[in-house]
Chains A and B, each alone.
Chain A
């Protein structure tokens, strides 16, 4: 199982854009779910894209296993990392099974033309993600929560050892957020490594092994929820006042406004 290792990474979101990542170091190993939290524009998406090798770093180095992801072919990369981008526009109202089958693209599969191994992976994933009943529906007939599950299933069907997901639970109600994170947690418990951008602090505390705080392109720190989720960390990261109280395993987070508006 490969490890994703960022060492002092700096990168820009575009050629002329200012630095969106400054000296970021982070390691995600197998069986580890790391939640990346931070305000909008903190550089979370840029971090994921740099880790995938989709954009070049202007400083530092990234290793995926023993390879530099920027030097991998798209296919090699897809076999190592499944990627769930933030925006997931579907071009056509495809059937659910065909969309999940696209997760097997790097294995040489195409919808409707699946080798035995690919078909088995697709069927397995449909069951794991509770999509069995929806398999023959077209995407335009699904609810937002169902569609989010389809995208997750597409990523899992690749059976890559690593998952990078950008706000996989965005725009979902609490129940569906839990279901999505539950699926990712199961992937991690089975030995996968996952780096997930999240905005829901409670979800991160509930499901992540580590929380990494990000602001202005810098990693403020990371650690297990119990030690990383503090009022002080929330203040430094989001610039809001907060209270955090732990009730057993679960934190209760009360968010205030910015300090000068109280």
Chain B
């Protein structure tokens, strides 16, 4: 059948899936405590010495999985928001969701609420993302314009950024200042399965909403009016994507703080390989973003620096130039 011949991106998902498995294994293999692959494999299936199991299962594996999940959440959110807003620059960061989420998280640090319980900070991060999401959903229900949504997001982002600067400015002591900065820079160091379990329900809920509404993103390529004409329920589509991206991003920020660019760059790289179809870019973008963060986190751990680099910093240092390169290339294409 001609329709299926040469289907673009056929090998993308299997290749990325295999690469993720390899990267995860590398992540549990590599580290300051030298372990042979045999010992790592034994520990992974519950064998080996208690020390091996602690290193592999309690330290390295949850950290690598956290990086993967954060990448998946940000990649899916970015690809979905770009499809919804028909704009390759849309991303949880652009819409202010990450910033609001981080603001709520840092507020718990500033007001000294974080030590009250391990669930306080993640809950605040998710509440912040949902608050931003609700604001955007409200704006989305009142306007038909994607541009207005982006501008609302930019405003929200600036507002949260200013409030966060204010909190760091007024930080009561160097310790809470350091905590807050860590949160803004983004990191998966010392994450446990308990941390992952706290975020996972929100992450899963967000992904269900996003993947469930993916088909509508394809229709939106025609423009909102024509998309409604071919049978898309625009309002429901907007709400699903905004709520889904809010939940997934909130869960990601709860787990790792603010990590930028991966949500813009991963969908960008994937899109030409899936015929520029937003729906088909969702899964590969999620996997690529997850893979990128697992690899970046390995880099962070092996880099010979006196204090460990923050994952968000490395993601930005690698991601920002790639983003600029793509944006510049895009312009010359259209000229």
Contact = CB atoms under 8 A, between A and B. Distances in A.
Interface in B174-221: 215, 218-221
B75 interface: no
B215 A110 contact: yes
Contacts of B233: 73-75
Interface stretch (A17-25, A36-44, A88-96, A197-205): A88-96
Interface in A97-122: 97-99, 101-103, 105-106, 110-112, 114, 119, 122
A74 B232 contact: yes
Interface string A145-158: 00000000010001
Given A97-B3, A119-B1, A123-B3, A92 B276 contact: yes
B232 to A, nearest CB: 6
Nearest to B271: A92
Interface stretch (A27-35, A76-84, A221-229): A76-84
A105 B3 contact: no
Interface residues of B, number: 34
A190 interface: no
Contacts of A158: 230
B221 A94 contact: yes
A226 to B, nearest CB: 32
Contacts of A140: 333-334
Interface stretch (B42-50, B277-285, B294-302, B310-318): B277-285
A87 interface: yes
A136 B218 contact: no
Contacts of A103: 230
Contacts of B220: 91
Contact of B221 (A79, A83, A92, A97): A92
Contacts of A138: 275-276
Contacts of B234: 74
B229 A83 contact: yes
B228 interface: yes
A83 B231 CA distance: 10
B117 to A, nearest CB: 44
B229 A82 contact: yes
A92 B278 CA distance: 9
A95 B275 contact: yes
A75 B232 CA distance: 7
A74 B228 contact: yes
A85 B277 contact: no
A105 B276 contact: no
Given A98-B275, A110-B215, A90 B230 contact: no
Interface of A: 52, 54, 73-75, 77-79, 81-85, 87-95, 97-99, 101-103, 105-106, 110-112, 114, 119, 122-123, 135-136, 138, 140, 154, 158
27 contacts: A52-B229, A74-B234, A83-B225, A83-B226, A87-B225, A88-B226, A89-B223, A90-B221, A91-B86, A91-B220, A91-B278, A92-B221, A92-B276, A92-B277, A93-B276, A95-B275, A95-B276, A102-B221, A102-B230, A105-B215, A105-B218, A105-B230, A105-B231, A105-B232, A110-B215, A110-B218, A154-B222
Across the A-B interface, the 3 shortest Cβ-Cβ residue pairs: A78-B231, A106-B231, A83-B229
